[in-house]
Amino acid sequence: MSSKIDLEPAGALIALDFDGTLSPIVPDPAQARPVAGVVDSLVRLAGQGARIAVVTGRDARTVLELGGLARIPGLLVSGLHGAESWQDGELTTRDEPPGLAALRTALPPLLPAGVWLEDKRLSLVVHTRRAERPDEVLAELTGVVPQLAAEHGLDAHPGKQVIEIRIPELSKATALQRLLVDGVTGALYAGDDLGDLPAVQAVRRWSERSGRPAVTIAVGAVPELVAATDAALAGPDELAALLADLAAG
């Protein structure tokens, strides 16, 4: 896509995923960091009147710490697919769903070598990227984990070498619906995985309903996301360049 997008920052919502979007995917999620310069661009955009939001499957405080994001004026972080919301130093969060404690015990014995379970407090994520055959192992677990999650009243969502178990009624769409409030003049959403599809669809519905401009961007090469968005970028570096151009005017 062109390095220029047709969106006026003042009054716009700029909502972004974190892993794979602001930060490259890395083997150890604790080592994820935003690509160089992207946070500076978001600070500039906020100074121009844009409302900046990070919409992520991670918990809000972890994303803030890893990204050094708290210096973005007015930032809102919607964590755990909308189960948490952080703004101006205050965190609101839902209670732990029933069934999650039982899954913490039931899942580990089912996981093959190299597969690990990440506990996000209000969700669990099975990671296969360290396994010897990550995609094959993911396919095998996709036949087991969703059924086990459903037995405990939770949903399971496959992604790039992950299966995320979370509260059924939550998605990134619910987070976007709370952000697309009166006064938003336009919207940009960028994400990298299947979990971003509901957010893309929410932004598109808002644009059609309101008549206001919106841009949706796939970062990376997940076919379903590329097909559903307005444009595709190769990786976080390209998104950083696009945001820098937007901030430059």
Which one is catalytic: 6, 17, 40, 88?
Answer: 17
Model confidence band, residue 169 (pLDDT cutoffs 50, 70, 90): confident
What CATH number does the domain containing 27 carry?
A: 3.40.50.1000
CATH number (domain holding residue 157): 3.30.70
Q: How confident is the model at residue 103 (pLDDT cuts 50, 70, 90)?
A: very high
| Domain presence at residue 63 | yes
Whether 157 shows a pLDDT value over 80: the answer reads yes
Q: Which domain holds residue 155?
A: 100-166
Phi and psi at residue 216, in whole multiples of 5°? -115, 140
User: Does residue 2 fall inside a structural domain?
Assistant: no
Answer yes or no: do 162 and 116 share one domain. Answer: yes
Same domain, 124 and 54: no
pTM, full prediction: 0.89
Judge if 90 and 123 occupy the same domain.
no
Instruction: Mark which of 147, 166, 185 sits at the end of a domain.
Output: 166
Domain limit, last residue, from 166, 181, 216 = 166
For residues 184 and 196, give the distance between their C-alpha atoms in angstroms, rounded to a whole number. Answer: 20
User: DSSP letter at 230?
Assistant: S
Dihedral, CA of residue 45, residue 50, residue 56 and residue 59, to nearest 10 = 90
Q: 105 and 211, same structural domain?
A: no
What is the C-alpha to C-alpha distance for residues 166 and 145, in angstroms, rounded to an integer? 12
Task: Mark whether 80 and 116 lie in a shared domain.
Answer: no
Are 74 and 180 members of one domain? yes
Per the structure, the count of domains in the chain is 2
Q: Are 81 and 176 within one domain?
A: yes
Q: What is the pLDDT of residues 109-148, one digit of tens each?
A: 999 999 999 999 999 999 999 999 999 999 999 999 999 9
230 is catalytic: no
| pLDDT recorded at residue 36 | 97
**Statement to judge: residues 78 and 176 lie in one domain:** yes
